[in-house]
A and B are shown apart, each in its own frame.
Chain A
Amino acid sequence: MKRVTLALTLALAAGLAAQAADAQTLKTIKDRGMLSCGVSQGLPGFSSPDDKGNWTGLDVDVCRAIAGAIFNDATKVKYVPLSAKDRFTALQSGEIDVLSRNTTWTISRDTSLGANFTGVTYYDGQGFMVKKSLKVNSALELNSASVCVQTGTTTEQNLADYFKANNMKYEVIAFGTNDETVKAYEAGRCDVFTTDQSGLYANRLKLANPNDHMVLPEIISKEPLGPMVRHGDDQWFDIVKWTLFAMVTAEELGVTSKNVDEKAKLENPELKRVLGTDGNFGEQLGLTKDWVVRIVKAVGNYGEVFDRNVGAGSPLAINRGLNNLWNKGGLQYAPPIR
């Protein structure tokens, strides 16, 4: 792990020393024929490889949607698995074009890393998981507990804040990767495992007896997760940002991967604009007129992506909650395509 960090840092130093930021990300990707996408090292529902090495998950579908919009082929993605602490360096050094790795949007990350968040793909919050046998029902009963956490995350600071604010003591044990953290929790090194709540549900599936463990009701932080791109290329920033909006808009208009071709034939002015039979918004982005059709054919609309990876259609079975559309009680909202 140290070697990876070192290699990336050297690449960063060399890249920075050699040339100014390359502002032509889209052209570089087209020349390469591949989108290079930074993902996690394995978080079910968000980004994890199956036994054949195919990556699936919500974050992975963001990569596939972008590749679909550019190449009309969702498979043209090179996935770069990154640990929490290596992810920003990989983006800064140009190793990846977009970081889609359950990363929390904070002001310090948005302003000091030379990168921008393009939107929110999942509204999350930090929670706690404990063994049922401890008979704990609230996070406020965790005084003097030992807590396992993955290093290099916002989680560590939220944890310190929460226990301090509630005047409780705790012991933190920070591990390099998600799997090591889960293993130590399972081995009984700590009473509590903490990460974003979606991650708790995902990691619970990895435990030997998922039913012996429960997620406590408290949410102690706001964790809006979203993709990041490097500073200095506004066109690329727009493409990633509007790919997310296109997925949300498609759900709003009821366009799914199954009915997209029929919807494109309808004489509905809004559908015609969005699906590219009218106007040239896709070309203004640097893509093609039918960019939204390509995205929806690649991964489906936002609702389909959510259900397939983390929602009702997945083993995680997480409720839409905050991630529902704005007109259904959630926070997912896209500016109009017009």
Chain B
Amino acid sequence: MSTEARNPPPQIALKIRRILGGKTGWNGVAVQFAFAAILGWIGYEIVSNARANLENQHIAAGFGFLSNNAGFDVNQTLISYTGSDTFLRVFVVGLLNTLVVSVVGIVFATLIGFIVALCRLSPNWLLSRVGEIYVEIIRNLPVLFQILFWYLAVLAALPNPRQSISLLGIAFISNRGLVIPSPIGGSGLEPFLAMLALGVVASLALRFHARRALFREGRMIRIWPTVLGLLVGLPLATMLVFGVPFTFELPQLKGFNFAGGSRIIPEFVALTLALSTYTAAFIAEIVRAGILSVHKGQMEAGASLGLSRGATLRLVVVPQAMRVIVPPLTNQYLNLTKNSSLAVAIGYPDLVSVFAGTSLSQTGQAIEIIAMTMGIYLLISLLTSAIMSVYGWRLSRSLGA
């Protein structure tokens, strides 16, 4: 009897078997496929049944409504929008409003959160008590009430437009919001922007060079005077040559409201304020936990090298703490974005208000609109966590962990 070497089983089949079947082998694979088929069938039944029933009851279905005229107005639009635009454009307008409040909120929440955390960790008794009180009050009150509080507090504190507070006669604060002069492009705009861009690029290159010199050769290069010259001096010089880059359109009181100028509406201010202070309380605790997780020997090592407390925190402790901070910080960013959907309570035109609210009741197409809204929130959240994951990954790589 000759012995022949058995052919090794094909690698792909083996992989599939291992992924799907685990220890049970091909039987397991068969069970998995059957299960997937049943799930797929149930999904199909739900969708087709819902479609048939919508049709039976003459409830409009499908996404055709997106190209219909919306017929209502929105009071904060980042892209041009009028009542005769489509529901699809309403969707984009709402989405941008949600994004702008989320991004601004995240920036402020992070700043306030870090400051409060450092206060709580401070050896100064008063500072640490203030930080503690802030955290304990803010995080223990429902965010909806905080939004309403800030809104009504902001409104109550401000006068009506006719008695608005004037800031040097160019900007005005009233209960209609903050009106500021809006820039209008002039003859020198293009060279000005070009020089500004050049300045930014040159400064970044300089910083890269300085860091290399520091890490490779141990040389400290003082770059800030050059950077200042590049960012301020260069554009100023072009202004002298080509003339002013833009003029300002001043707001003027006309009838009930200000005409001209740009406006930040009080709803935006109240919502951003409420969301960022609320989320900051949680971020403060996360940052505090992160910093405390770094062994105190690191602090002592920094001190023994002659670094100040601030420099030790900045250069030694915080970079190590970030590894602990980033994953829960991502959660807070996601929470802030999702909490922005409470905007409808104070009339801020976010996605939920204008699309899942007004558009839904104008068209009555609840299933499509809610599905789209849920889908976009999911997308925003997944993108945010993807970005934070990349950041976290780079962080661990740079720490060599």
Residues of chain A touching chain B, judged by Cβ–Cβ distance below 8 Å, are 1-2, 5-6, 8-9, 12-13, 16-21, 84-85, 87-89, 92, 108-109, 111-114, 134, 142-146, 148, 151-153, 156-157, 159-161, 164, 170-176, 180-181, 183-184, 187-189, 191, 230-232
| Contact, CB under 8 Å: B344 / A175 | yes
Residue of A nearest to B362 (CB): A157
Cα separation A62 to B366 with both chains bound (whole Å): 27
| Contact, CB under 8 Å: B356 / A5 | yes
* Proximity bits, B254-267, A CB within 8 Å = 1, else 0: 11110100000011
A5 is contacted by which of B47, B176, B360 (Cβ under 8 Å)?
B360
| Contact, CB under 8 Å: A187 / B155 | yes
* Proximity bits, B162-197, A CB within 8 Å = 1, else 0: 000000000000011000000000000000000000
A114 is contacted by which of B54, B341, B356 (Cβ under 8 Å)?
B54
Cα separation A23 to B71 with both chains bound (whole Å): 35
A8-B366, A17-B49, A175-B344 known; A187-B175 Cβ under 8 A: yes
A-B contact count (CB 8 A): 165
| Contact, CB under 8 Å: A161 / B71 | yes
Cα separation A8 to B369 with both chains bound (whole Å): 13
Give the residues from 340 to 360 in chain B that come closer than 8 angstroms, CB to CB, to chain A. Answer: 341-342, 344-347, 349, 352-354, 356-358, 360
| Contact, CB under 8 Å: B347 / A153 | no
| Contact, CB under 8 Å: B56 / A232 | yes
Residues on B with C-beta less than 8 A from A2 are 341-342, 344, 352, 356
A20 is contacted by which of B53, B342, B354 (Cβ under 8 Å)?
B53
- B240 CB–A CB distance under 8 Å: no
The 7 A-B pairs with the shortest beta carbon distances in the complex, nearest first, are A152-B361, A114-B59, A114-B57, A112-B60, A160-B83, A156-B72, A144-B255
- B74 CB–A CB distance under 8 Å: yes
- B385 CB–A CB distance under 8 Å: no
Residue of B nearest to A87 (CB): B361
| Contact, CB under 8 Å: A180 / B256 | no
Residue of B nearest to A143 (CB): B255
A2-B341, A144-B257, A145-B255 known; A230-B72 Cβ under 8 A: no
**Smallest Cβ distance from B373 to chain A, in angstroms?**
9
Residues on A with C-beta less than 8 A from B347 are 148, 173-175, 180-181, 184, 189
Residues on B with C-beta less than 8 A from A146 are 176, 256-257
Cα separation A16 to B356 with both chains bound (whole Å): 20
| Contact, CB under 8 Å: A172 / B74 | yes
A-B contact pairs, 7 of them (CB 8 A): A16-B49, A16-B54, A114-B54, A152-B360, A174-B347, A176-B345, A180-B345
A109-B364, A160-B72, A231-B57 known; A145-B256 Cβ under 8 A: yes
A1-B345, A20-B53 known; A84-B361 Cβ under 8 A: yes
Give the residues from 244 to 275 in chain B that come closer than 8 angstroms, CB to CB, to chain A. Answer: 254-257, 259, 266-267
* Proximity bits, B58-70, A CB within 8 Å = 1, else 0: 1110000000000
| Contact, CB under 8 Å: A145 / B56 | no
A16-B49, A114-B57 known; A88-B361 Cβ under 8 A: yes
- B156 CB–A CB distance under 8 Å: yes
Give the residues from 375 to 397 in chain B that come closer than 8 angstroms, CB to CB, to chain A. Answer: none
| Contact, CB under 8 Å: A187 / B156 | yes
Cα separation A175 to B152 with both chains bound (whole Å): 14
B361 is contacted by which of A13, A85, A114, A180 (Cβ under 8 Å)?
A85
- B73 CB–A CB distance under 8 Å: yes
Residues on A with C-beta less than 8 A from B361 are 84-85, 87-88, 151-153
Residue of A nearest to B160 (CB): A188
* Proximity bits, B26-53, A CB within 8 Å = 1, else 0: 0000000000000000000111011001
Give the residues from 78 to 120 in chain B that come closer than 8 angstroms, CB to CB, to chain A. Answer: 83
| Contact, CB under 8 Å: B257 / A231 | no
Cα separation A2 to B366 with both chains bound (whole Å): 12
| Contact, CB under 8 Å: B256 / A151 | no
Cα separation A172 to B342 with both chains bound (whole Å): 18
Residues on A with C-beta less than 8 A from B175 are 187-189
Residues on B with C-beta less than 8 A from A174 are 72, 75, 347, 349, 353-354, 357-358
B367 is contacted by which of A13, A21, A108, A134 (Cβ under 8 Å)?
A13
A17 is contacted by which of B46, B72, B255 (Cβ under 8 Å)?
B46
Residues on B with C-beta less than 8 A from A230 are 57
